Amino acid sequence: MPDIEGTALKKETMENDILELNNIKSNSLNGFNFSEIGDDHLFTNMDTPMREGAFDLSNEEKKDKIAGLFAEIMDVLGLDLTDDSLQGTPRRVAKMYIEEIFSGLDPRNKPKVALFDNKYQYNQMLVEKNITFYSNCEHHFVPIIGKAHLAYISSGKVIGLSKLNRIVQYYAKRPQVQERLTNQIAEELKAVLETDDVAVIIDAKHLCVSSRGVKDDTSSTVTAYYGGKFNSSSKINELLNYINN
């Protein structure tokens, strides 16, 4: 005779385990709960975490929805949405989110990169420095303002210089953490240039640190990626010399 009670009990225990797992997943990170993590900028993945069906809605549908939700936030804050100055804000924010500051979430906006043959046989590093970008911290949704410096050593192919800039802008236009932004740009450079010999240095100011929270107005955050031939102190020194001059 099958042990029905035993099976049911087992099923319940399993369900409880799953519930507990989900609880752990949604309430904590590395053993810290979210209130303990507070303002620390932890992140869990090199890919921008996207949910299933992220692009099921059209951009127009997304704008409608965001406008409605943002109006609700403003309303909860107690703002008078019939005021002439505030009336258009929910739409304006929605349009800005989709078309500008978060447009890099949509893979259709990824810059198309054409490669050219390295006709001049230039075989030293090429550095594109001081690329200004504006991103947004994914933990506070306030701006990150910074400079990106990119470098690569051609594997036989070169890309237009403006494309380096466009790659930075594409990945910056997402809710971001600086470490991920750095790596995403590096991975993209490696893929399009067909080489591991790329470097990315980012120096950025996080408004969530300077305008609120600890209110440190002078600090900036530096992150770096050194791939392939850039993994040597002589190459890194050479690169830093170009950047600092």
> Which among 151, 201, 141 has a CA at the least distance from the CA of 174?
141
Count CB atoms within 10 A of the CB of residue 119.
7
Catalytic residue selected from 149, 178, 184, 188: 178
Catalytic residue selected from 149, 169, 184, 206: 206
Catalytic residue selected from 138, 179, 187, 238: 138
What is the nearest approach in angstroms of Zn ion to the Cβ of residue 183?
18
Q: Residue 175 gets which letter from DSSP?
A: E
Active site residue 140: yes
What is the nearest approach in angstroms of Zn ion to the Cβ of residue 135?
11
Q: Residue 144 gets which letter from DSSP?
A: E
Instruction: Kindly identify the residues of this chain, within the stretch 109-148, that bind Zn ion according to CB under 5 A.
Output: 137, 139-140
What is the nearest approach in angstroms of Zn ion to the Cβ of residue 137?
3
Give yes or no for residue 174 binding Zn ion (CB under 5 A).
Answer: no
What is the nearest approach in angstroms of Zn ion to the Cβ of residue 220?
14
Q: Does an H or E element contain 176, and which?
A: strand 175-176
Could you give the string, one character per residue 208-237, with x where binding to Zn ion holds by CB under 5 A and - elsewhere? x-----------------------------
Angle subtended by helix axes 59-76 and 89-96, to nearest 10 = 130
**What residues contact 77, with CB distance under 8 A and at least 6 apart?**
none
Active site residue 184: no
Alpha-carbon span 207 to 216, nearest angstrom = 9
Active site residue 206: yes
Give the residue with the Cβ less far from Zn ion, 90 or 143. Answer: 143
Alpha-carbon span 245 to 235, nearest angstrom = 15
**Residue count, binding to Zn ion (CB under 5 A):** 4
Give the residue with the Cβ less far from Zn ion, 142 or 236. Answer: 142
Residue 216 to residues 7, 142, 190, Cα–Cα distance (Å): 58, 15, 35
What is the nearest approach in angstroms of Zn ion to the Cβ of residue 72?
23
Catalytic residue selected from 140, 169, 176, 184: 140
Give the residue with the Cβ less far from Zn ion, 140 or 149. Answer: 140
Catalytic residue selected from 149, 176, 188, 208: 208
Give the residue with the Cβ less far from Zn ion, 177 or 185. Answer: 177
Q: What is the spatial order of strands in the sheet that 221-226 belongs to? A: 175-176, 125-137, 143-153, 198-206, 221-226
* Helix, strand or coil, per DSSP, at residue 58: coil
Single-letter residue type at 220: S
Instruction: Kindly identify the residues of this chain, within the stretch 181-210, that bind Zn ion according to CB under 5 A.
Output: 208
Active site residue 138: yes
Active site residue 41: no
What is the contact surface with Zn ion in residues (CB under 5 A)?
137, 139-140, 208
Catalytically active residues are: 137-140, 178, 206, 208
